[in-house]
Structure 1
Amino acid sequence: MKTIQLNSRPVGIPKLSDFKFVSEEQEKIADGEMLLKASYISVDPYLRGRMMEGKSYIEPFELNKAISSGMIAEVMESKLNGFSKGDFVSGMLAWKEVQVSNGEGLLKVDAQKAALSSYLGVLGMTGLTAYFGLLEIGKPKAGETVVVSGAAGAVGGIVGQIAKLKGCRVVGIAGSDEKVNQLVSEFGFDAAINYNTSENMTQAIAEACPNGVDVYFDNVGGEISDGVMMNVNRFARIIVCGAISMYNATSVPMGPRVQPILIKNSVLMQGFIVSNYMEKFGEAIPQLAKWLQEGKLTSTETIVKGFENTPQAFIDLFEGKNKGKMIVKI
């Protein structure tokens, strides 16, 4: 079986040489274990942070050890109660074609109720991140203006749709005219901005948000977020979910000092990780599934085929080559 390991810690944008493929003998299972075959692998921007050394909310990946992320796997053989051959499971697993697991942290998923890939997207951590970040921190009210950066990405598209369900005016920010058109035509956003063709983001946001910004769901950071900050209303809520514009920076970028804006407008600015709300997952997943079944949520995925293409799919995230959730199908 093949395993994908971290070969070197990336400097700037990751390169294929930062990863290496290693062939290993297939392990045997013991009592209380099961043998899993990878079906789908989730590649996400946050993995870039785990490739760096240093203290964070989760341990960094080790060099010459397998990388891990959200995965869907099929049970090939089981000596573990509650799991049978042919079952599908979801959870954090190593980037291995085949692996042994004791079932810790894994949940069975039903391919009859939803596409397996959706358990990595709208019905998985992606959907939960959008749901809790927006509703628990943003607390949107009908009639308010919600701005989403990285809006055509996995989390951003779901955030905007949930905000629309809550009666808000929603403005998305993305990196191409194709993505901007998709946000409006497919996801129901009220307006969208192409940051690559907007010379002045502060002005572009002001024009798209004539009543100012009440809630900002930030997936990007950098100059885009600087422009949003100049348009926030009193008592605005800023949800800091990601900062993809800075993940590959080789030095600390300098930007506006936001404290005067926060003070002047009594703005709440809060970062989060989805596991903060783990005890509430049981209430969120049925709601997301209900919206999906009712056609109130549209899920977009970019599927890359082949285990060997997993590193390239991850790198492509930083060039904006994905629409919605980026997933590798094995």
Structure 2
Amino acid sequence: MSLDVNRQIILREKPVGKLQPNHFAMTENTIPQPADGEVLIRVRYISLDAANRAWMQGATYRAAVEPNSVMAGGGIAEVVTSKAPGFAPGDLVFADTGWQDYTVLSAKHLIKMPHIEPLTHLLSVYGIAGLTAYFGLLDVGKVQPGETVVVSAAAGSVGSLVGQIAKIKGCRVVGIAGGAEKCAWLVSHLGFDAAVDYKAGNLFKDLRALVPNGIDVYFDNVGGDTLEACLALMNTHGRIACCGAVSQYDGAPTAGPRGIPGLITIKRLVMQGFIVMDYFSQRDRAFADLQTWVASGQLKVEEDIIDGLENTPAALIGLLAGENRGKRIVKV
């Protein structure tokens, strides 16, 4: 790689149906230079998330990614040149870096991060994934000791942490994942009480057998048919934390869920969507707890690191197909 070239991965066209490698292209440009109030940063690691795919469909909590623009994505980066107070060369920051080697951003869009090893933990357990799991379960789900917690996409970056935090809080935890191998891993390695394979058998019947006392908190990363199955098993005054709907992002969306109005009324359920940025002002509290749990061995961090910016499109496609365990990250 030439040191004076900025490689960028462009979204060539908005996908219709499944995301494919030909929807992306690699280009090279000159490295941009910062103006007053701006900072030039070199991207070290890129976070891959199912939400990347949702951004291609239209505006969400952020603007849509438009054709022929740099693919959006969060990342950990190092300050190269600063023309803004409070930032100096060598500082680590989290930002919406995009899929590229370098970018210039206004200082107000940067979050300074501590220097810890491994740096990848700043994108997994101490980053968006960990904060999403922490606040989604504790502040949105309002989980209490002794309750039954079910989490979908349980082997993924957020779900794998949600289940472990629920166990730390004294809950019975059931994960939903794809494939017998992942389900066995959730129980044997991460300490879930049970796991159900949504690809085998009948999800509703299989899950019902594992939650004879119903579900108190459902952490939803999937939506669709999985949400529908969990809704019918919720206890009165149960809580549903709506984190994502990956079943609706890539390809043809599913029809579910049905029965929401009646179930919510009869069982007095609370069903709340959230995004982690709502809780950024409280991230020091989460960071302290997460560090304590990691240090004690109560919280295991699973990372799936792909090497090379050029492999980012394939890595996202693989994530959407469920290839990963834990947090998928690209080392630039």
Show the 5 A alignment for 1:54-203: 55-111=59-115, 113-197=116-200, 199-203=201-205
Q: Is the 8 A contact 2:224 2:254 kept in 1?
A: no
Report the equivalent of 1:41.
46
Distance 1:245 1:252 in 2: 7
Report the equivalent of 1:259.
261
What TM-score do the two structures reach when normalised by structure 1? 0.94
Report the equivalent of 1:23.
28
Give CA deviations for 1:81-123 in whole Å, capped at 9, x if unaligned: 3333333222221221122233322233333x33111111110
Q: Quick one: which amino acid aligns to residue 4 of structure 1?
A: I
Structure 2 SS opposite 1:302:
strand
Distance 2:136 2:297 in 1: 22
Q: Is the 8 A contact 2:38 2:106 kept in 1?
A: yes
Structure 1 SS opposite 2:61:
coil
Structure 2 SS opposite 1:73:
strand
Among 242, 245, 251, the alignment partner of 1:243 is 245
Structure 1 SS opposite 2:69:
coil
Distance 1:227 1:175 in 2: 15
Distance 1:264 1:245 in 2: 27
Report the equivalent of 2:306.
304
Among 290, 307, 316, the alignment partner of 1:288 is 290
Distance 1:79 1:56 in 2: 31
Q: Is the 8 A contact 1:110 1:116 kept in 2?
A: no
Q: Is the 8 A contact 2:225 2:256 kept in 1?
A: no
Report the equivalent of 2:328.
326
Structure 2 unmatched ranges of 5 or more: 1-5
Give CA deviations for 1:285-310 in whole Å, capped at 9, x if unaligned: 22212222222211111111000011
Task: Quote the offset at 1:242 in angstroms.
Answer: 0.8
Task: Quote the offset at 1:161 in angstroms.
Answer: 0.9
- Choose 294-303 or 245-254, whichever is displaced more: 245-254
Structure 2 SS opposite 1:122:
coil
Task: Quote the offset at 1:196 in angstroms.
Answer: 1.2
Task: Quote the offset at 1:284 in angstroms.
Answer: 1.6
Task: Quote the offset at 1:41 in angstroms.
Answer: 0.3
Give CA deviations for 1:144-177 in whole Å, capped at 9, x if unaligned: 1000000000000111111111110000011122
Q: How many residues align?
A: 327
Give CA deviations for 1:3-27 in whole Å, capped at 9, x if unaligned: 1121111112211121121211122
Distance 2:253 2:205 in 1: 28
Identify if the C-alpha distance between structure 1 residues 266 and 114 changes in structure 2 by more than 3 Å, giving closer, same or farther.
Answer: same
Report the equivalent of 2:220.
218
Give CA deviations for 1:165-211 in whole Å, capped at 9, x if unaligned: 111000001112221122112211111111112x1111111111111
Q: Quick one: which amino acid aligns to residue 326 of structure 2?
A: G
Distance 1:138 1:264 in 2: 19
Q: Is the 8 A contact 2:227 2:257 kept in 1?
A: no
Distance 1:68 1:223 in 2: 29
Q: Is the 8 A contact 1:11 1:250 kept in 2?
A: no
- Choose 229-238 or 163-172, whichever is displaced more: 229-238
Identify if the C-alpha distance between structure 1 residues 251 and 176 changes in structure 2 by more than 3 Å, giving closer, same or farther.
Answer: closer
Distance 1:286 1:266 in 2: 34
Distance 1:318 1:79 in 2: 38
Identify if the C-alpha distance between structure 1 residues 69 and 251 changes in structure 2 by more than 3 Å, giving closer, same or farther.
Answer: closer
Distance 1:161 1:175 in 2: 18
Structure 1 unmatched ranges of 5 or more: none
Q: Quick one: which amino acid aligns to residue 82 of structure 1?
A: G
Q: Quick one: which amino acid aligns to residue 158 of structure 2?
A: V
Q: Is the 8 A contact 1:153 1:324 kept in 2?
A: yes
Q: Quick one: which amino acid aligns to residue 228 of structure 2?
A: D
Report the equivalent of 2:3.
none
**CA root-mean-square deviation:** 1.7
Identify if the C-alpha distance between structure 1 residues 276 and 325 changes in structure 2 by more than 3 Å, giving closer, same or farther.
Answer: same
Give CA deviations for 1:199-225 in whole Å, capped at 9, x if unaligned: 111111111111111110010112222
Q: Quick one: which amino acid aligns to residue 117 of structure 1?
A: T
Q: Quick one: which amino acid aligns to residue 71 of structure 2?
A: I
